[in-house]
Amino acid sequence: MPAVQRRDEHHVFTANPPSITGYTKGCRCDECRAAWREYGRQYWRRRAAGERPTMPAGPVLEHLSRLYAAGHTAGSIAAVTGVQAKTVRHMLTAGRKRVRSDNGEAILGMALDDSPDCGTHKLPACHVQESLGRLLASGLRHEDVRRAIKVEPSHIAHQEHVAATTARKIRVLCQLRAHAGLLESV
């Protein structure tokens, strides 16, 4: 039986450059296959290091339902969280049991009254500083907080105001720690 012939013309399957998406859409060019293999390697390295690339979808789907009930659309949720609108719509219609952790955490961090321009707003730092102190007191390492919020925690301690996106990231960390029973409910 002859070997399956690979197509070298990537654009036959997708308009995107060679990527994981091209592979999942059926392209088997060398570049898409290499991208797929590299994605698999990174995924399993993260799993071996104890990182969980996915999380249960239940709390995320419940929060999405509340956001929709509050009048948000997939587009407004995408603008606030950074998760693509297509992904938000897909989460609700696909009957998922698990979602990617980065998408789930971003959605859980969105408050019902957040608007698409909230990322540019500054909030008083007092509540954020209190939540940050609770996180560190609960045993979360300083380095882990810095990596999760992409801001040096010691800088927040000296600020009068913080970006709404930073406050949201800290709120998500508190919610996750509380859900795991490592922090009093927020």
45 occurs within a structural domain: no
- Indicate if 58 and 22 belong to the same structural domain: no
C-alpha distance from residue 40 to each of 64, 96, 99 (Å): 29, 21, 17
82 occurs within a structural domain: yes
Residue where one domain finishes, among candidates 71, 93, 116: 116
Give the pair of three-digit tokens for residue 88: 């938000």
49 occurs within a structural domain: no
> How many domains does the chain contain in total?
3
* Pairwise CA distance, residues 108 & 122, whole Å: 20
- How much is the pTM? 0.48
Over its length of 186 residues, how does the chain's per-residue pLDDT go in tens digits?
A: 444 444 445 445 445 566 777 787 788 888 888 888 998 898 888 888 887 788 899 999 999 988 888 878 888 888 888 888 888 988 888 778 889 888 898 899 888 777 665 445 666 788 888 888 888 888 888 888 888 888 888 888 888 888 777 887 888 888 878 777 777 754
Domain enclosing residue 64, as ranges: 54-116
C-alpha distance from residue 8 to each of 13, 31, 93, 182 (Å): 11, 9, 34, 52
The residue behind tokens 């709390």 is: 59
